[in-house]
């Protein structure tokens, strides 16, 4: 697989204040998720937006009809089968948007470091972009197993085992 193009848009300064190397962390984790997710469709491109709760709430309300913030949203470009792909152009996977306040609160509530929880949400969001979901038990089990394996390879513990405690 060629090196993916991973754009990180830091729209909420609290991310950089809490995690000074957050952009590098996100790129490294997203690349690991792409590699483990068996996504080898040539050059790939995706964007990660490190936002605040207000931005995510607005997107969630507009696109999902849910008027609340959530930790991560994924908007997969691959859902549009009619989208043209110019020859030689990278395959645009889509966007992952992560809410700072929700992520930070969840990490604190679950006794996890912010960088580990962010890493989990990046992996989760990127896997959605390449077609994984958790709509039924079998799909959820497959996706959670892959998330756990990717995070383990990055030295991060099983987020589901920790949440079950």
pTM tops 0.75: yes
CA dihedral 97, 102, 107, 113 (to 10 degrees): 50
Alpha-carbon distance of 145 to 154, in angstroms, equals 14
Q: Which CATH number fits domain 5-157: 2.160.10.10, 2.40.50.110, 3.20.10.10, 3.40.390.30?
A: 3.40.390.30
Alpha-carbon distance of 26 to 49, in angstroms, equals 10
User: Mind listing the pLDDT tens digit for each residue in 111-164?
Assistant: 999 999 999 999 999 999 988 888 888 988 999 999 999 999 999 999 988 554
Domain boundaries, given as residue ranges, for the chain: 5-157
Residues 6 or more apart whose Cβ sits within 8 Å of residue 129: 46, 74, 76, 77, 78, 93, 94, 96
Q: Could you tell me what percentage of the chain is helix, strand and coil, using 3-state DSSP and rounding each to the nearest 5?
A: 50, 15, 30
The pLDDT score that the predictor gives to residue 43 is 78
User: Mind listing the pLDDT tens digit for each residue in 49-95?
Assistant: 999 999 999 999 999 999 999 999 999 986 665 665 666 667 789 99
Which two tokens mark 121? 């949400």
Residues 6 or more apart whose Cβ sits within 8 Å of residue 144: 134, 160
């Amino acid at each position: 697989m060629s090196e993916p193009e991973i754009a990180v848009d830091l729209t909420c300064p609290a991310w950089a204040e809490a995690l000074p190397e957050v952009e590098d962390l996100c790129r490294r984790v997203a690349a690991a998720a792409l590699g483990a997710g068996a996504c080898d469709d040539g050059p790939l491109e995706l964007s990660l937006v490190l936002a605040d709760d207000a931005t995510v709430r607005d997107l969630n309300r507009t696109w999902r009809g849910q008027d609340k913030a959530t930790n991560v949203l994924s908007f997969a470009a691959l859902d549009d089968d009619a989208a043209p792909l110019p020859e030689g152009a990278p395959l645009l996977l889509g966007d992952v948007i992560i809410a700072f306040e929700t992520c930070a609160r969840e990490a604190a509530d679950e006794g996890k470091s912010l960088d580990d929880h962010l890493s989990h949400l990046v992996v989760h969001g990127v896997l959605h972009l390449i077609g994984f979901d958790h709509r039924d038990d079998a799909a959820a089990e497959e996706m959670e197993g892959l998330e756990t394996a990717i995070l383990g390879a990055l030295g991060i513990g099983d987020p589901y085992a920790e949440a079950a405690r």
